[in-house]
Chain A
């Protein structure tokens, strides 16, 4: 019986392994479309038990490592500039940037890094991740929906869009000022469109 040479067999194994790995991961990196400002990071909070106050952050960036073959292996990383808070009133925004609330001079970024994705429906999932706000990191879970993935009808660029909704308690992040008159519970609304790299 003819013996197989060790070197070619090893090379073949490495080549197969590389090919398999490349096929199995099928990762696509998407970057949030900041140039086109196709994103929205908003929040809702009770104002003195009367109205619901709406606000948003105007500047954010982020990356989605999307696993086409197994979406639950995907990873999300988003950074929001806390100083970009906008509630459509300069005086209130200045107060929200102060140490009473977001303390933006001390903690300039709000970050979210996903740690786990659990598929719920065909296009929905529960995304758990670490939210760091005002220097405090807490695990939160967001309900996410894949809105669409495919070619942009105009630019033909591969594009994907997701939405995420969730609720957090700001006191968990050390923001207790004015609570409970100014609500402790904050609803998060994040909609993003991202371009494949």
Chain B
């Protein structure tokens, strides 16, 4: 059993997936009013995976890897506050923008204060991409009234997380790859729930957690690994693939709750794969295990 828990693949896939599902099961047992907090399962899955992989975080985090845990917890807290008290679209958007910028700055401040270089341009590009992604995910204008696209954002966020994991892996950091994988698996649980179970309305807490963790992971990869910035920027195009689906996929398929996540997932995989291939092409050292 302990061998299984120590397996990096299990730590970043099965453990967050099952933890997230378990928390959803618990919340589902609570009165209906509590179901709006099902999104907390994403945070729970991510934190359990982090604990199993890295242990408890230190009280005063000094390294970026430790800060990610605190960023996850703060994003969950922000999401909860937004969900309970302040649900106006403008507030959600502003809070997420601040969250994205602050998490990116907290991770990369040492490098950000360094003399101006191409890294700064890459950081701006990634930040702008994350901001646009947040706008896309939190904007209510692109939602259907019947909630058939409830899962779209989560599917894209999960695909992007997996692609970030691939980029991190090629940048020689398995720990960032595991964190990204854990985020994807935690999102996978709620996607599964909405796909084959009851389609619940997803509140801000579901979207805030991944939206604010992703820039932190991207800052970590950008500043502290050998990964190239262009594949990371390319990856963020995945958030706009939904628009392609709206334009080119027949309406009957778009309306199908079963087919829609598959279509959205498949289309968003195109920039994700392109990003991974580009990252591989930029590798400074031939990839091989050791």
Contact = CB atoms under 8 A, between A and B. Distances in A.
A interacts with B: yes
Interface of A: 89-92, 94-95, 97-100, 103, 105-107, 134-136, 171, 174, 176-177, 181
Q: Interface size bucket, B side?
A: 20 to 34
A99 B62 contact: no
Given A98-B224, A105-B111, A174 B286 contact: no
Interface string B145-189: 000000000000000000000000001111110000000000000
B285 A176 contact: no
B290 A99 contact: no
B63 interface: yes
Contact of A99 (B6, B63, B288): B63
Contacts of A136: 58, 62
Given A134-B63, A135-B63, A181-B6, A100 B58 contact: no
Interface in B262-290: 284-288, 290
Given A134-B62, A174-B66, A103 B224 contact: yes
Given A106-B224, A181-B6, A100 B173 contact: yes
Interface of B: 6, 54-55, 58, 62-66, 110-111, 171-176, 220, 223-226, 284-288, 290
A92 B290 CA distance: 7
A90 B285 contact: yes
A174 B288 contact: no
Contact of A103 (B58, B64, B111): B64
A136 B111 CA distance: 19
Contacts of B224: 98-99, 103, 105-106
B285 A177 contact: no
Contact of A89 (B110, B172, B287, B290): B290
Contacts of B223: 105-106
Contacts of A176: 54-55
Given A91-B286, A94-B172, A100-B175, A174 B64 contact: no
A106 B175 CA distance: 15
Contacts of A107: 63
B181 to A, nearest CB: 14
Contacts of A135: 62-63
Contact of A95 (B54, B62, B172, B284): B172
Contacts of B66: 174
Contact of A177 (B54, B111, B287): B54
Nearest to B107: A106
A89 B289 CA distance: 11
